[in-house]
Amino acid sequence: MTPSQYIELHAKDLLGNLQQLVGMPTVNPPGEHYDAITSCLTSELSAAGLVAKRLAIPQALLRRTLPPEQHAFPRFNVLGKLAVSPASKTIHFNAHYDVVPVSGKWRHGSPFSGAVERGWIFGRGTADMKGSIASLLLALRSLKETGVRPMMNVEVSFTADEETDSILGTGWLVQNAPINPDYAVVMEGGEGGRVCCGHNGVVWMEVQVHGRAAHGSQPQNGVNALEKMSALVVALEGYKRQLSRTKFVTPEGRTMRPTINVGGIFSSGPGGKINTVPNEARFSIDRRVLAVEDHVVAERELRAFLTKAARAIPDCRITISKISENFSCFLPPKHPFFAAMAASVSRVRRAKTAFSVSTGFNDMHFFAHHRKIPTIGYGPGGEDFHAVDERASVRALVNTAKIYADLLTSFEG
Ligand SMILES: [Zn+2]
C-alpha cells in the first residue's frame, strides 16, 4: 500500500482525531486546556514514530511575559523529531494549537463538537489550525504504517499563543528549543492551489497631541488639542499618497500596496468637557507593512513624517508611541524547496499551483526571518476563520495529508 492509499483509507481517523482536538477548547486568551492538548499531541507524535517531548515555559518567564490574569495558565510547546539516516537535511513542520474565543450562534453543532456535514467539519480551530495538525499526523502515520521512509529528517512543533503574539510559542521555540531545520512548513497561510511564500507585517502606533486647557469662553487662552490633531490627520493624507506610490507584485501577479488606517481609536484625555478647551487628543495608526518591507523602517519613516508634520503646525506638540508590531516576510520562490512543494500540491490536487503572499500574518516569519531558512505556508485552511461556523473541507484535509506525505517522500533537500 502507498502512503496516499493509506491516507485515503483512513480519512475517518483524521476526522476523529480532529474532533478530539477541537473538543479541547484551547481558547486564547487566556490559554485554556494547553496542558491537556499538549499531552495528547505528544503521545500522537510518539505513536507516529517520532521522539516527542513537551517543553514547558518556565514560570518566571511566563510571569514576566503574560498579564497577571493569565499567570495561572501554563504554556507548553511540543517538539517531535524523526531522524532518518542517511538524510542530511531537516524539514520542520509547525502549527499552533491555540484558538480564538467563540461568540455568536453556531448553526452546525456547537463550537467544540466537530460536527461533520456535507463534506465539511465544523468547529473552532478546524480551519485555524487544528485541521493542519490532524493532516500532518495522518501523513506521518501513513509513512510509518506503509514502511516508506521520509527523505529528510523531520521535526514537528505544535506551539502556543499564535493568536496573541507567539512570544512564548513559536517565538520562544525558534530561539530556545533544540531544533536545526533547513526548511520549514508553517501549516497555514496557503491552501488549495496556492502555496504561500510570505506575509504582510504591521505596526500599530498611538499619537498623543498635547494642548493647553482653558475656559470655553476664552479659547484664545488655550491650545486646542483637537484642532491640532485634526490638522495632523489632514497632513497624513500626504503620507497616504506617498505610500500609494509603493507597490509589490506577488509571484502570482497580484499588486499589493502598503496602507495606513488613521484613528481606529481616538479620544480626548481626562477632563474633556463641552466648556473646556481640550488639553489632550489621541488617535491610533494601523500601518500595514508589505511582505517585502521592513516594519522597523516603516515605523521610523512614519515617526519622521509625523514629527515633521507636527512641527509645521503652530503649537502642535505630540508624543508617538508604539502599541504593537509584527514582522513581515517574503522569500522569492526560487529555491528548489518551493518547486518541490508546488509539485506535490499539483500532483495530489491534479491542478495548477501558484505562489501567493498572505495579507494576514502568521508564524512563518520566525523561520523565514529569524532562522533565515526557506519557509512555506501551506495547510488545509477552510472558511470563516475566527468567526461563527468555522470549518474545514474534508477533501482538503485528506489532500493536505497526501501533500505532506508526498513532499516528505519526493524532496531530499
Ligand atoms: Zn492560525
Tens digit of each residue's pLDDT (9 = 90 or more) over 33-45? 999 999 999 999 9
Instruction: Identify the band that residue 213 occupies on the pLDDT scale cut at 50, 70 and 90.
Output: very high
Average the pLDDT over 309-328 and give the result: 96
Nearest to 357 by CA among 260, 290, 261, 286: 290
Q: What is the pLDDT of residue 333?
A: 95
When the pLDDT of each residue in the chain is averaged and rounded to a whole number, the result is 96
CA of 170 to the centre of ligand 1 (A): 12
Distance (Å, rounded) from C-alpha 349 to C-alpha 402?
9
Residue 273 alpha carbon to ligand 1 centre in Å: 43
Alpha carbon of 96 to ligand 1 centroid (Å): 7
Residue in 36, 356, 311 with CA at minimum distance from that of residue 193: 356
What mean pLDDT is predicted for residues 263-291?
92
**Whether the predicted pLDDT of 214 surpasses 90:** yes
Share of the chain above pLDDT 90, in %: 95
pLDDT the model gives residue 361: 87
Give me ligand 1 centre to Cα 361, in Å. Answer: 9
Could you tell me the distance, in angstroms and rounded to a whole number, from the CA of residue 162 to the centre of ligand 1?
7
pLDDT band at 283 (very low <50, low <70, confident <90, very high): very high
Which residue's entry shows cell 461568540? Answer: 103
φ, ψ of residue 288 to 5 degrees: the values are: -85, 130
The reported pLDDT for the residue numbered 360 is 86
pLDDT in tens, 77-127: 999 999 999 999 999 999 999 999 998 999 988 899 999 999 999 999 999
- Do 218 and 208 contact (CB within 8 A), yes or no? no
Share above pLDDT 70 across residues of the chain, in percent, rounded to a whole number? 100
Q: How far apart are the first and last CA of the chain?
A: 25
Identity of the amino acid at 17: N
| Rounded-to-integer distance, Cα 188 and Cα 374, Å | 15
Task: Dump pLDDT digits (tens) for 218-244.
Answer: 999 999 999 999 999 999 999 999 999
Instruction: Give the closest residue to 225 by CA, choosing from 345, 326, 315.
Output: 315
* 253-266: average pLDDT: 93
83 CA from centroid of ligand 1 (Å)? 28
Taking the whole predicted model, whether its pTM rises above 0.85 is answered as yes
**What pLDDT does residue 268 have?**
86
Q: How far apart are CA 61 and CA 53, in angstroms?
A: 20
Q: What is the distance in A from the centroid of ligand 1 to the CA of 48?
A: 23
Copy the grid coordinates of residue 300: 521610523
- For cell 476563520, the residue is 385
Short-list 263, 327, 265, CA closest to 291: 327
Residue 272 scores a pLDDT above 90: no
Overall average pLDDT of the 367-380 stretch? 96
